[in-house]
Amino acid sequence: MRRRVFSASLKLLSEEWIRVGDKRLCVRYVRNPRAKRLIVRLQPDLSARVTVPRGLSVREARAFLEKHASWLKTRLRERERLRADRLGVGDQILLRGRPVTIEPDPERPGWIRFGDQRVRVEDGSGGLAKLVRERLFALAVEELPARALAYARVHGFRPAGVRVGNPRTRWGSCSSKGRVNLNWRLIQAPPFARDYVILHELVHLEHPNHSAEFWARLRTLCPGCEIARRWLSLHGPELMHAW
Ligand SMILES: [Zn+2]
């Protein structure tokens, strides 16, 4: 399944992840026989589309992209700044996988709410985006480790600890000392995707690799893990870049 419906003349040649600065960027190479030259465009979901004209290979397009990596980095940073500054009342964000609108709290002047969350907006508190992000982070700290520990109990895992962090490129990790780290942005993902990441990291306590045994074990605990992986690969880049 592909994220966008390409017009009939466009053909997806390759989909790859590249590193741009401290971020990962999804790049889709598409063939457009009518294109006269190579075109690189950042998409609204912060993936990149490289339109490859007839007669040029993906390898050549990739080399072009590598040469213009700093251009891409600048564009990405601009786009991020715009989004962060623009977040305001009336905008929608994801909370536990559901779109919720940021709106004034009718019961408390000077407060905003989104979903079941309320945040006080004071003068000089540094913009709405910062406040919303802080609230989401706090919520992640409240909910994610508790969820992970509950799963650990049920399935007999013994993590040395569960922490919430702010990595830019990973949903979770499991250290060699048995510490599970979870990305705070998982609070925005739907429960099935959040649980997949939690179970994935817990299974690493038994299999510190991505061997066939690892996946087999994970699949018994998380039968819907392919759907979760797909959700994360489709919507993850946007969540990773949004904050
Ligand atoms: Zn893994």
H or E stretch at 119: strand 117-120
The arithmetic mean of pLDDT across residues 17-45, rounded, is: 85
Determine the CATH number of domain 140-242.
3.30.2010.10
For residue 117, report the distance from its CA to the centre of ligand 1, in Å. 31
Instruction: Report strand pairing: 23-31 vs 48-52.
Output: parallel
177-206: pLDDT as tens digits: 999 999 999 999 999 999 999 999 999 999
Does residue 82 surpass a pLDDT of 80? no
For residue 97, report the distance from its CA to the centre of ligand 1, in Å. 22
The arithmetic mean of pLDDT across residues 90-108, rounded, is: 90
Q: What percent of the chain has pLDDT over 70?
A: 91
For residue 21, report the distance from its CA to the centre of ligand 1, in Å. 22
For residue 13, report the distance from its CA to the centre of ligand 1, in Å. 27
Nearest-angstrom CA–CA distance, 18 and 102: 33
Nearest-angstrom CA–CA distance, 65 and 50: 8
pLDDT at position 108: 85
CB 24 within 8 A of CB 3: no
pLDDT at position 4: 44
150-179: pLDDT as tens digits: 999 999 999 999 999 998 889 999 999 999
* Contacts of residue 21, Cβ cutoff 8 Å, sequence gap at least 6: 73, 76
* Contacts of residue 135, Cβ cutoff 8 Å, sequence gap at least 6: 117, 119
* Contacts of residue 150, Cβ cutoff 8 Å, sequence gap at least 6: none
pLDDT at position 198: 98
For residue 46, report the distance from its CA to the centre of ligand 1, in Å. 24
205-233: pLDDT as tens digits: 999 999 999 999 999 999 989 999 999 98
pLDDT at position 3: 42
DSSP string, 57-88: -HHHHHHHHHHTHHHHHHHHHHHHHHHHHH--
What end-to-end distance do the CA atoms of the chain give, in Å? 27
For residue 209, report the distance from its CA to the centre of ligand 1, in Å. 7
Determine which of 32-41, 121-130, 192-201, 209-218 has the lowest per-residue pLDDT on average. Answer: 121-130
Nearest one of 181, 179, 178, 160 to 169, comparing CA atoms: 181
**Domain range annotation of the chain:** 11-86, 92-131, 140-242
Q: Residue 48's beta-bridge partner residues?
A: 27, 42
Is pTM, for the whole model, over 0.75?
A: no
For residue 197, report the distance from its CA to the centre of ligand 1, in Å. 9
For residue 35, report the distance from its CA to the centre of ligand 1, in Å. 39
